[in-house]
Amino acid sequence: MARSIQVTLPDGKVLELPEGSTGHDVAAAIGPGLAKAALAAVVDGELVDLHRPIESDAELRLVTARDPEALGLLRHSAAHVLATAVRRLRPGAEIGFGPAIEEGFYYDFGVEEPFTPDDLERFEEEIERVIEADYPFERRQVTQDEARELFHDDPLKLERLEEFDEDEVITVYRDGPFLDLCRGPHLPSTGHLRHVKLLSAAGAYWRGDERRQMLQRIYGTAFFRAKELEEHLERLEEAKKRDHRVLGRELDLFTVDERVGSGLILWQPAGSIIRNEIEEYEKELILRHGYELVYTPHIVSEKLFEVSGHLENFRENMFGAMEVEGARYRPKPMNCPGHICIYQASQRSYRELPIRYAEFGTVYRYERSGVLHGMLRVRGFTQDDAHVFCTAEQVPAEIEALLDLVDEMLATFGYPYTIELATRPESAMGSEEVWDEAVATLRGVLEERGLEYTVDEGGGAFYGPKLDFKLIDAIGRRWQGPTVQLDFNLPERFGIEYIGSDNERHRPVMLHRVLVGSMERFIGGLIEHYAGAFPLWLAPEQVRVLPISEQFSENARAFVDEMRAHGIRAVLADRETLGYRIREAEMRKIPYMGVIGEREVDEGTVAVRRRGSGRKQEVMERGAFLEQLLDEIRGRSLDTIPDA
């Protein structure tokens, strides 16, 4: 007699089905519409294939195109379909990895010749044929020996198999002629794919190691609706226009010189103005919030990183040691150990706490050359790092204060944001109990304030959980922003103390926080957020004054001098034709142009052109225009951003 299982649905309804029934069987039992729409199932919290048997009683939720898991499922399956198409047209291609990523998917191939745009077109045509064939995605569990036999002619897969434990479950997936080593899950069949688009091909080292084989990586994306794909492609086109590397060069903001080194930024004068304005604003902000400024060296004895745990847990991201009189030194990857040493320079009392140290500290981290990317991924960068030393009782209030600080900071730059709570990683220091307490503290503050957040399981730093703030830019992309990390472990490793009201020694708690994070990454992101059109207070050149002809240059120069005397970054442009000078000012994305002709000289006015207003101009009394500029600068207004 066949055994039965009970499947509990999200609404509490219980279905009794034969043992070995699948998510598809559940959907069919509910109704034909759901049976057609279902793509996968979540069984006891695990996302599984729709046709995977259910062996025992379980809680089950069906996944359709409207559910958050569906897009990743679609894109993972699209990666396999891409590999199917490539193998049909390039039978000798070695197969690497093909994951879904945030904006789509990619797949790595070992081929003798790089892929061309024509190749991508042919692959897209073949993808459509694979979709039309409606091959089922078939899951199979295999042994190590069976897997090696299946992939005997695929060296990249054989290398991956060497990393499996003997007792680890190995699964493969087949769609039509293509077989891949994969954990899954996938869509029920290739015919469920919708709106797949290949975007580009680029070189990528196998396993991200520049010492290994160079592969060809094809990037693509997929959506359930044509309109969503169209909107995504429009965003990509807009992103190209906003590329900070292109705008940074056009606006003379920064440069990279291989003689200096890859991933090391040289700030041009215009970019340095932006950086300085942000640093000065942030200093004003944090001093108002009770921080003290400190400075620590760029190179530090390796012994400090032995104590902090960085050598043990972060060595692969650190630059090598240098010998100095028999001692080993390294460029610092973090500022926190230095701040701890400053704290420990004196005996501390509970009356001093909380102590808040802040530093614009330059750190150095080894990044592989293949991942370096303009200002967004570099090897040397300046963090607006701060560390708060406080009692356990003070932690919730300090986190509250940090949330206020983040909110004020990001509003100034016009960034909405989301929050992620990142929990204990596998390489964590300290006990699970301490981690659980720290996570609960962060979660409690967020929920007390009624803030929405998501959980990034295992995404914490090795010494403590954290809150990650993701900035949402003008075209909807997310950027890494501020972080707040709660740390019970470094205080323990360094043995830091304070004298309590009971005259006994106690261990403080430590909070790590950054607001902009990496100054290089933040400004690279700002370039793209503003499309190079910085608000007035940040603009390297705030006003360009344009006399209609040379006879008005002296009067225009006097107005420029007056603005400069008030701290306004004004420039006189009196060469070439007026039309040329206007076009150049527009290309340089200068917030205001002031045109001066005979009438403006006689009446003491200026014809003001605001960035983005086309040919429209407003004749203003010069004093009124000057006061308007100063008000916008003092208020750090975002009004001069086009479409703000």
**Residues 519, 521: Cα–Cα separation, whole Å:** 6
Total of domains in the chain = 4
Q: What is the pLDDT of residue 399?
A: 93
Q: 549-590 pLDDT, tens per residue? A: 999 999 999 999 999 999 999 999 998 899 999 999 999 999
Task: Provide the CA 393 distance to its chain's centre, in angstroms.
Answer: 33
Q: Locate tokens 């002619």: which residue? A: 153
pLDDT at 70 over 70: yes
Q: Is residue 481 part of a domain?
A: yes
Tell me the average pLDDT across 69-75. Answer: 95
Q: What is the pLDDT of residue 30?
A: 93
**CATH number reported for the structural domain that contains residue 271 in this entry:** 3.30.930.10
Q: Quick one: pLDDT band at residue 324, thresholds 50, 70, 90?
A: confident
Q: 113-156 pLDDT, tens per residue? A: 889 999 999 999 999 999 999 999 999 999 988 999 998 888 88
| 205 and 141 within one domain | yes
Percent share of the chain, pLDDT over 70: 99
How far lies 572's CA from each of 85, 252, 598, 629, in Å?
59, 18, 17, 17
Question: When comparing pLDDT for 155 and 537, which is higher?
Answer: 537
| 514 and 387 within one domain | yes
Closest residue by Cα to residue 512 from 306, 334, 393, 314: 334
Catalytic residue among 90, 157, 383, 390: 383
Q: 350-382 pLDDT, tens per residue? A: 999 999 999 999 999 988 877 788 999 999 999
* Catalytic residue status for 365: yes
Q: What is the pLDDT of residue 284?
A: 95
Catalytic residue among 339, 512, 589, 609: 512
Given strand 327-331, what is the order of strands in its sheet? 299-301, 327-331, 322-324
Q: How many CA atoms lie within 13 A of 371 on its CB side?
A: 13
Q: What is the pLDDT of residue 427?
A: 76
Q: 406-444 pLDDT, tens per residue? A: 999 999 999 999 999 999 888 777 788 888 888 999 999
| 500 and 609 within one domain | no
* Catalytic residue status for 141: no
| 503 and 598 within one domain | no
End-of-domain residue from the set 176, 210, 240: 240
For the CA atoms of 280, 331, 313, 105, the dihedral, rounded to the nearest 10 degrees, stands at 70
Q: Is residue 640 part of a domain?
A: no
Q: 228-253 pLDDT, tens per residue? A: 999 999 999 999 999 999 999 999 99
* Catalytic residue status for 636: no
Catalytic residue among 387, 544, 569, 609: 387
| 588 and 620 within one domain | yes
| 598 and 512 within one domain | no
* Catalytic residue status for 24: no
Mark 312-350 as b/e (b = at least 16 C-beta within 10 Å). Answer: ebbeeebeebeeeeeeebbbbbbbbbbbbebbeeeebeb
Q: 309-323 pLDDT, tens per residue? A: 888 878 888 888 898
Q: What is the pLDDT of residue 138?
A: 96
pLDDT at 214 over 80: yes
pLDDT at 640 over 80: no
DSSP character string of 86-103: HHHH-TT-EE----EETT
Q: Is residue 144 part of a domain?
A: yes
Q: Locate tokens 């958050």: which residue? A: 68
| 123 and 261 within one domain | no
Q: Is residue 370 part of a domain?
A: yes
Q: 185-198 pLDDT, tens per residue? A: 999 999 999 899 99
Provide the mean pLDDT of the chain.
92
Which segment of 388-392, 472-476, 602-606 scores lowest on mean pLDDT?
472-476
**CATH number reported for the structural domain that contains residue 216 in this entry:** 3.30.980.10
* Catalytic residue status for 385: yes
Residue 280, SS3 per DSSP: helix
Q: Is residue 104 part of a domain?
A: yes
Q: Is residue 9 part of a domain?
A: yes
Catalytic residue among 108, 175, 385, 473: 385
Q: Quick one: pLDDT band at residue 462, thresholds 50, 70, 90?
A: confident
Backbone angles phi, psi at 274, to 5 degrees: -60, -50
Q: Locate tokens 């891409």: which residue? A: 82
* Catalytic residue status for 551: no
Q: What is the pLDDT of residue 134?
A: 96
| 617 and 504 within one domain | no
Tell me the average pLDDT across 177-188. Answer: 94
| 385 and 491 within one domain | yes
Q: Is residue 344 part of a domain?
A: yes
Catalytic residue among 24, 242, 336, 521: 336
β-strand pairing of 14-18 with 40-43? unpaired
Catalytic residue among 24, 76, 90, 466: 466
Q: How many CB atoms lie within 10 A of CB 145?
A: 8
**Could you tell me if residue 156 is left (phi over 0), alpha (psi between -120 and 50 degrees) or otherwise beta?**
alpha
Q: Quick one: pLDDT band at residue 1, thresholds 50, 70, 90?
A: very low
**CATH number reported for the structural domain that contains residue 18 in this entry:** 3.10.20.30
* Catalytic residue status for 390: no
Q: What is the pLDDT of residue 87?
A: 93
| 417 and 499 within one domain | yes
**Residues 140, 182: Cα–Cα separation, whole Å:** 10
Catalytic residue among 88, 192, 244, 365: 365
- Per-state percent for the chain, helix, strand, coil, to nearest 5: 40, 30, 35
Q: Is residue 315 part of a domain?
A: no
Domain span at 386: 254-296+333-529
Q: Report pTM.
A: 0.83
Q: 258-268 pLDDT, tens per residue? A: 999 999 999 99
Name 107's Cβ contacts closer than 8 Å, sequence gap at least 6.
79, 82, 83, 86, 95, 96, 97, 98, 217, 218
pLDDT at 288 over 90: yes
**CATH number reported for the structural domain that contains residue 573 in this entry:** 3.40.50.800
| 133 and 44 within one domain | no
| 74 and 59 within one domain | no
* 606 and 600 Cβ atoms separated by less than 8 Å: yes
Q: What is the pLDDT of residue 2?
A: 62
Q: What is the pLDDT of residue 205?
A: 78
